[in-house]
Structure 1
Amino acid sequence: MDEALWAVGRGTGVAALVLFTASVVLGIITRSGRPLPGLPRFSVTLVHRNVSLAASLFLVVHVVTLMFDPYALLNLLDVFVPFFGSYRPVWQGLGTVAFDLLIVIVVTSLLRNRLGPRVFKAIHWLTYAMWPIALAHAIGNGTNGVEGWFLVLSGVCVLAVLASFGWRLSSRFVEFRSVRLGEIS
């Protein structure tokens, strides 16, 4: 049973990383207002939300599973307060920081209509901090963190995020509001 908990904890952590990578990329595409091949613009937003939800659920399973794993020895303090863990406290603490940031992002996403677009957008930018912190946690604390297959997977994730972020910062990126108002030709 202990090995099953460890395997589920590792697997859901890797799945969460991949899904959060997809969520960051889809979030940037959503902001541009452009459709994906085969999907209208509004569907990109729905896919982004669903991928984000799936990533969050995988992360919750990752954390809860490791709380019951006798090897990981996570407790409630480790889950919410960074850098107090007994196993690789810095790397585990980075995971806790990423988890705490995710909680803030999810709560503000749920309260988006009450907070207003400026507050929501400002807090949602925390995703750009959460993702690399989570990646560092995965490499530094993960059982497979320095194995070849995981480093290749991490490299692909980094390239995807950097490419989309580079596009986001480029002059070729046009925000949805400009597209909707017909400000571009």
Structure 2
Amino acid sequence: MMTWFLALPWWEAMRALGLLSFAAITAGICLGILYSLPFWSAPVKKRLYKTHAALAIDGAALGLGHGMLTVIDTYVPYSWSELLIPFTASYRPVLSGLGTLSFYALVLIILSTDLRGKLKRPLWFALHLSAYPAFVMALVHGFFMGTDSGSLAAQWFYALSACSVVLATLVRAAYRSFANTGKGGRGRPAALRRKGSVS
């Protein structure tokens, strides 16, 4: 019975969960970035926020399942300590550790969102910005550890994911820059506009 159980395609299942987790994280980050744009109506912003939060939770859950399957898999089995303590794995310790750190960062972001009302905004914002390094760590972990990363489909998947996050970030930055220079200041620094300078 146990032999049959261990012979199941755990490696493929683990890889599938990893890809699904990364896709959910990517979509969640993009929605979180675009959510702050001011032109959304209140109902749309509410839906965006709920979807953003759900994708983050789904990504974490899928990532947890992805990691737990490494303990069951017989190809390169991990111990619980190797799974939970970054950079202690015997197999590709740096890449494995990046995956663990990315998961921890994602959990921290989810918890900080739940505690948003009790945290000062600068602290909450700093914790939320850790989504960027978490995404990069997950990208490096998934691409360089993936057995299928040499395939064109996998390369396109990771490339489109990275480009989506970069593009969403650039759109928000461009919109904020346009908004800051378009509010009666002709591009003057915000500090000068607040002081009423007419230089």
TM band (smaller chain): 0.7 to 0.9
Q: Describe the shift of the 1:102–1:72 C-alpha distance in structure 2 as closer, same or farther (beyond 3 A).
A: farther
Q: Describe the shift of the 1:58–1:34 C-alpha distance in structure 2 as closer, same or farther (beyond 3 A).
A: farther
Normalised TM-score (structure 1):
0.85
1:154: how far off?
Answer: 0.5
> Which residue matches 1:104?
108
- Answer yes or no: is 1:173 the counterpart of 2:185: no
Count of residues in correspondence between the two structures = 174
C-alpha separation in 2, matches of 1:48 and 1:34: 17
The structure with more radius of gyration: 2
Does the 8 Å contact 2:56/2:106 carry over to 1? no
1:8: how far off?
Answer: 1.4
Does the 8 Å contact 2:25/2:56 carry over to 1? yes
Does the 8 Å contact 1:5/1:69 carry over to 2? yes
**Which of residues 130, 139, 146 in structure 1 aligns to 2:143?**
139
Q: Which letter maps to 2:132?
A: Y
Which deviates more, 15-24 or 137-146? 137-146
C-alpha separation in 2, matches of 1:104 and 1:46: 18
Matches within 5 A, 1:32-181: 32-35=37-40, 40-170=44-174, 172-173=175-176
Structure 2's unaligned 5+ residue stretches are: 185-199
1:43: how far off?
Answer: 1.0
Q: Describe the shift of the 1:147–1:114 C-alpha distance in structure 2 as closer, same or farther (beyond 3 A).
A: same
Q: Describe the shift of the 1:70–1:135 C-alpha distance in structure 2 as closer, same or farther (beyond 3 A).
A: same
Q: Describe the shift of the 1:64–1:4 C-alpha distance in structure 2 as closer, same or farther (beyond 3 A).
A: same
C-alpha separation in 1, matches of 2:84 and 2:160: 29
Does the 8 Å contact 1:78/1:96 carry over to 2? no
RMSD (Å), alpha carbons: 2.1
- Answer yes or no: is 1:19 the counterpart of 2:2: no
Does the 8 Å contact 1:80/1:96 carry over to 2? yes
1:6: how far off?
Answer: 1.4
Q: Which letter maps to 1:13?
A: G
> Which residue matches 2:194?
none
Q: Which letter maps to 2:78?
A: L
1:26: how far off?
Answer: 0.2
Which deviates more, 109-118 or 150-159? 109-118
> Which residue matches 1:30?
35
C-alpha separation in 2, matches of 1:58 and 1:34: 32
Q: Describe the shift of the 1:164–1:9 C-alpha distance in structure 2 as closer, same or farther (beyond 3 A).
A: same
Structure 1's unaligned 5+ residue stretches are: none
C-alpha separation in 2, matches of 1:108 and 1:72: 34
